[in-house]
Amino acid sequence: MRVGLGFDIHRFAEGRRLVLGGVEFDGEIGLQGHSDADVVTHAIIDALLGAVGLGDIGQHFPDDDEKWRDVSSLEMLSTVRYLLEAENYQAVNVDVSVAAERPRLGAKVDAMREALARVLGIAPSFVSIKATTAEGLGAIGRTEGICAWAVALVDRVQEPDLP
C-alpha cells in the first residue's frame, strides 16, 4: 500500500462554470484554469500520481497542451486511473478537504462522491469530501478562490496465481 498527498488552488474567474468533484454548481462563478479547473479532482489526481511516484498533474496534463483545454477533470482522473492500473495499482480510498467561503458544498457532497467513485472504480463510501472556510483569512477568506487537499491510498492489484 502507498499513500499520496495532493493540493490544488484556483482563483475565481467570471464567465466560467464552477465544477467541483465532477459536479457543476449552477449560478456560481467558476475557476480560472486550462481544463475545467476542478480543484477537488485536481488534488485527487496529484495524490494518486504521488502515491505511485508518477509525477504530478502538470507533467501529465500540461497547460500548453490544447488537448486538455476546457476538458472535464473527470476525464483526466480516468486517464490517471489507467496510469495506475498500468503500474499494477488501484485506488483504495481518497479523502479531500476543501477550503472555500463559497459555495456551500453540503447539498452536493454525495453527488461529488458518487461521480469521483464511479471514475475511480470504488464505492462512494471510499471517497470522503469535507468542507471548511478560511474564516475570512488570506486569499481564500477574501473569496478570491478555492483550494483543496487530498490524500489517496493505493494498493497493488493482486496478480492471479499462474499454474
Res 162 pLDDT > 80: no
Peptide bond into 62 cis (omega under 30): no
Q: Catalogue all structural domains in the chain, each as residue range(s) with its CATH number.
A: 2-156 (3.30.1330.50)
Q: Report the C-alpha gap between 112 and 93 in whole angstroms.
A: 14
pLDDT one-digit tens code per residue, 52-91: 999 999 999 998 988 888 899 999 999 999 999 999 999 9
pLDDT one-digit tens code per residue, 24-34: 999 999 999 99
Q: Report the C-alpha gap between 87 and 84 in whole angstroms.
A: 5
Compute how many other C-beta atoms are within 10 angstroms of the C-beta atom of residue 151. Answer: 19
SS3 57: helix
Q: What's the pLDDT band for 156 if we cut at 50, 70, 90? A: very high
Task: Estimate the crossing angle of helix 39-52 against helix 73-86, to 10 degrees.
Answer: 10
Whether the CB-CB separation of 34 and 66 falls below 8 Å is answered with no
Question: Grid cell 475557476 — which residue?
Answer: 31
pLDDT one-digit tens code per residue, 107-144: 999 999 999 999 999 999 999 999 999 999 999 999 99
Compute how many other C-beta atoms are within 10 angstroms of the C-beta atom of residue 124. Answer: 16
What is the residue type of 107?
Answer: A
Q: Where are the beta strands (DSSP E) in 34-163?
A: 89-99, 127-132, 145-156
Model pTM score? 0.94
